[in-house]
Amino acid sequence: MIGGFARVVHGTGELTRGLDIVPSLREDNLRHLANALGDLGASRAAVKTLQTSELAEVEPLTVATAPAG
């Protein structure tokens, strides 16, 4: 984890609505990440990108998930 959420975890008083991660590019790791994002309501296009070799061509990848509630 990097970015604003990492600062929150380390005790800053700020709030963030995003989560920046730098995943391992191993195939099994990306498959697990794609499944987790799919469960959170990410777009099919984003999930497909994680499941293919296209990821290296589109960095950084911004993914929106369904709102909590």
The pLDDT tens digits along the chain (69 residues) read 677 877 888 888 888 777 788 888 888 888 888 888 889 888 888 888 777 766 666 667 788 887 776
| Structural domain includes residue 66 | yes
Q: Give, as one character, the DSSP assignment of residue 61.
A: P
Q: Which residues pair with 2 in a beta bridge?
A: 20
pLDDT at 59: 67
pLDDT at 69: 63
Q: Which residues pair with 20 in a beta bridge?
A: 2
| Structural domain includes residue 53 | yes
**The overall pTM is greater than 0.75:** no
Pinpoint the alpha helices (H) of 1-69: 4-9, 27-39, 44-50
pLDDT at 22: 82
pLDDT at 1: 65
Q: What share of the chain is helix, strand, coil (3-state, %, to 5)?
A: 45, 5, 50
Q: Which domain holds residue 40?
A: 24-69
| Structural domain includes residue 45 | yes
